[in-house]
Chains A and B, each alone.
Chain A
Amino acid sequence: MPLLSLQNLTIALPQGADRPLAVEDVSLQIGRNEIVCIVGESGSGKSLTAHAVMGLLPRGVMATGGSILFEDADLLKESPQAMRRRRGSDIAMIFQDPMAALNPVMTVGHQVAEQIRAHRAVSEHQALKQAEELLGQMGLKDPRSLLKAYPHQLSGGQRQRVMIAMALSLSPKLLIADEPTTALDVTTQAQILKLIKRLQAERAMSVLFITHDFGVVADMADSVAVMRHGRIVESGTTRQVLGSPAHDYTRALLAAVPKGENYLPPPAQAKALLQVSGLTKRFRRGGLFSRASAITAVDQVSLTLSRGETLGVVGESGSGKSTLARCVIRLLDPDAGEVLLDGADIAHMRERSLRPLRRRIQMVFQDPFSSLNPRQTIGDIVTAGPRILGEDAGKARARAAETLQLVGLKPECMDRFPHEFSGGQRQRIGLARALMLKPDVLIADEPVSALDVTVQAQVLKLLDDVRRQMNLAMLFITHDMRVAAEVCHRVMVMRHGRIVEEGPTRDIFTAPASDYTKALLAAIPGRQSL
């Protein structure tokens, strides 16, 4: 008998939402001692399904049909008190962002102890002792002092381990994990996934794992269900679904995952268009009355970039890659070093001399939801640059129509506002804005990180096409090695502000020299199986 059985589950959204049903007629089974993944893009309903099992649906969202059978009981028919007793003891859940998911004003030890004492009659002292033991089992060093720490004093990985410790404190039969590693660095992600797998095996626990990443599915799941628009389109064992996907959508999803296999060879030796040497940027903290501390975000970084080539800058959060991009494009002023754009050093130029050179180096930003002014029409946004340079408004609009078509959008969208477009479309608009100035260098700062995987693949292809067509020199910033492998000729790995390794993509991926690069590559989910 399966541990959890969802039968024809339907969840309705409140009035005014973009569709009436979040989840429609979903059936799924989780056996004992089994890891089941639900995989889907944003809006697929996978997260709400998980919340429904815990009885934690948000206000206004309700399960209107079907049943959720846990062992023998229908959770949808249970009283609130009975459901509350199950939460944390029979079924536990961990969430995506561990910083937001922990109470910022309570110590870690207290929060873990709180869960224990909610279901067992033990003293605070005993609960804390149990908490200490659990934290140790999660691989956390010095658990005793951790008990007194507050969440903001811990790293992302440590916080997620605390959440897992809390969730497993009463040995639940089912653990629900809602995208628990999406907000973590790739090396940390690999560690947490390993931890969850180990704990699952040790405790013979069932796990319902929600994710958008097929690589994770390949590494973790025994069975998988693919969701789209609230319905399950395909399900089966991992081997079945990944090896021979039956549904078109599954196939499309699998195809969209960047494989990092077709390595682009570096182009024929061309003259370097952009030459950065010794770039350094420090940030100072502390005001008039406190100790000043300095962080060196970018430390003596050098690189060259030629026309027609894409250089990838890969690193985890805090590596300095975004700061590097912003220094090169002079959104930040570097403390030292040179940035030669076709011979002219723009690193320390005054704004007035810099202004005419700005059009030669443009940028595509990360967040599609804040990179476009919500109160301007697309036409205004895209033609602003040329108009500032003196181009006639009519001519600019005509060119804008062409450029928008180039990036795959209809010219009619020029009179509409950003909120009417999807994330992928907004990134295309951002690209059009940059291209309108006919730049020589294009910096793409994590341009696809905020996009769903199918959309991601489209935008990456677009960027590559544009680069080729307009013979641009492209600097591509990303934290995802797989993405870098798709579009970059050369790759530079950064860590703590310094370059760790650099070279042609094929060399970096097949024969990495530094340990850090090796660790990054090993951490890629699904590397072996996909």
Chain B
Amino acid sequence: MSFARRFFASPPAVFGFAVFLVVVAIALAAPFLFARGPLSIVGMPLLPPGSPGLLAGSDVIGRDMAVGLAYGARISLLVGIASTCCAVGIGLLLGATAGYYGGWLDDLLMRVTEFFQIIPTFVLLMVLVAFLQPSLGSAVIGIALITWPQVARVVRGQFLSLRSREFVEAARVIGMGDVRIIVTQILPNALPPIVVVSSMMVGNAILTESALSFLGLGDPNLMSWGSMIGGSRVAMWVAWWTTVLPGLCIVITVLALNFIGDGLNDALNPRRRG
């Protein structure tokens, strides 16, 4: 069975993929779907969903919740995907080099990843974002900087084990150079777990970004799901939709991404039975 067929054979993976596509579509279409941006006030505050013209109700100061949710998708997806790409890029480079060449490079990488495992990375993230001034860019950079060690560990592990496989030894024997071996022999075989980890990381990055925004460390000029939840704290007890709806958006998006990750895992490493 080809990879695509294996992936789509699993119902959760299909569900996840479909939901993800919907979220992406909404995010891309947001500026065209709504006449005004998410920050403009459209009416009375704290109107429940279903009120005239307000599909999802209005928030604490009277902004349209639906518009906010749609624009929030843009932020979450952007930060999630961008930070993961950066983290994977760094992690791949460092992990591959350390795993293949070993020696002091590998020791150094191991010490660095240990360091990141011991310090409270979320606190570090807060400090970094504060240092760089809270914005979209600082969120992406900050999250990338605290998550690349995870990727590097997985990549290193893969390279370490593949390096001593016989087909890699055979490549050395026929005279292949190091770089060529890394790119043509090891990397294609190391990709499956890296791909799976990456898809999970997008979900985690979205959760982290929403946590930052919730605490007030997100971009102050942009509306994100986390900041919507943060802003709803005062009104939560009387207007549940201001808290519940953005949270549900996060849950559904991250869940979809995790289903995709699981589907990728099953499709790339077919096992005998579940």
Contacts and interface: CB of A to CB of B under 8 A. Distances in A.
B4 interface: no
Contacts of B189: 373-375
B169 interface: yes
A127 interface: no
Nearest to B175: A358
A355 B174 CA distance: 9
A371 B166 contact: yes
B188 A433 contact: no
Contacts of A366: 166
B166 to A, nearest CB: 4
Contact of B174 (A375, A376, A437): A437
A376 B170 CA distance: 13
A365 interface: yes
B36 interface: no
B273 interface: yes
A384 B171 contact: yes
B170 A359 contact: no
B174 A388 contact: yes
Interface in B121-168: 165-167
B188 A375 contact: yes
A362 B166 contact: no
B172 interface: yes
Contacts of A373: 167, 171, 185, 188-189
A362 B169 contact: no
A375 B191 CA distance: 11
A362 B176 contact: no
Interface residues of B, number: 18
B118 interface: no
Contacts of A374: 167, 189
A358 B167 contact: no
A366 B167 CA distance: 11
A275 B255 CA distance: 64
Contacts of A355: 175, 177
Given A60-B273, A373-B189, A375-B188, A362 B173 contact: yes
A218 interface: no
A385 B174 contact: yes
A331 B172 contact: yes
A433 B166 CA distance: 13
Contacts, number: 58
A135 interface: no
B273 A385 contact: no
Contacts of B173: 329, 331, 358, 362-363
A389 B167 contact: no
B273 A59 contact: yes
B273 A370 contact: no
A474 B1 CA distance: 41
A373 to B, nearest CB: 4
A275 to B, nearest CB: 20
Contacts of B177: 355, 388
B166 A385 contact: no
Contacts of A359: 174-175
B35 to A, nearest CB: 51
A375 B171 CA distance: 14
A244 to B, nearest CB: 42
B123 to A, nearest CB: 29
Interface in A373-405: 373-376, 384-385, 388-389
A372 B169 CA distance: 10
B173 to A, nearest CB: 5
A370 B175 contact: no
Given A59-B273, A375-B189, A370 B165 contact: yes
A442 B171 CA distance: 15
A376 B171 CA distance: 12
A500 B117 CA distance: 51
B273 A372 contact: no
A429 B22 CA distance: 48
Nearest to B180: A388
A40 interface: no
Contacts of B184: 376
A388 B172 contact: no
B248 to A, nearest CB: 39
Contacts of B176: 384, 388
B166 A384 contact: no
A281 B253 CA distance: 56
Interface string A337-379: 0000000000000000001001100110111001111111000
A362 B165 CA distance: 17
A68 B170 CA distance: 48
B169 A365 contact: yes
Contact of A370 (B166, B171, B172, B180): B166
A355 B185 CA distance: 18
A215 interface: no
Contacts of B169: 331, 363, 365
- Candidate in A367, A373, A375 with the most chain B CB atoms within 10 angstroms: A373
A430 interface: yes
Contacts of B185: 373
B174 A371 contact: no
Q: Give 8 closest A-B pairs by Cβ, nearest first.
A: A385-B174, A371-B166, A358-B175, A365-B166, A373-B167, A375-B188, A370-B166, A363-B173
Interface of A: 59-60, 329, 331, 355, 358-359, 362-363, 365-367, 370-376, 384-385, 388-389, 430, 433-434, 437
Given A388-B177, A388-B180, 17 more contacts: A59-B273, A355-B177, A358-B175, A362-B174, A363-B173, A365-B166, A370-B165, A370-B166, A371-B167, A371-B170, A372-B167, A373-B167, A373-B185, A374-B167, A376-B184, A384-B176, A433-B174
7 contacts: A331-B172, A372-B170, A374-B189, A384-B174, A388-B175, A389-B175, A433-B170
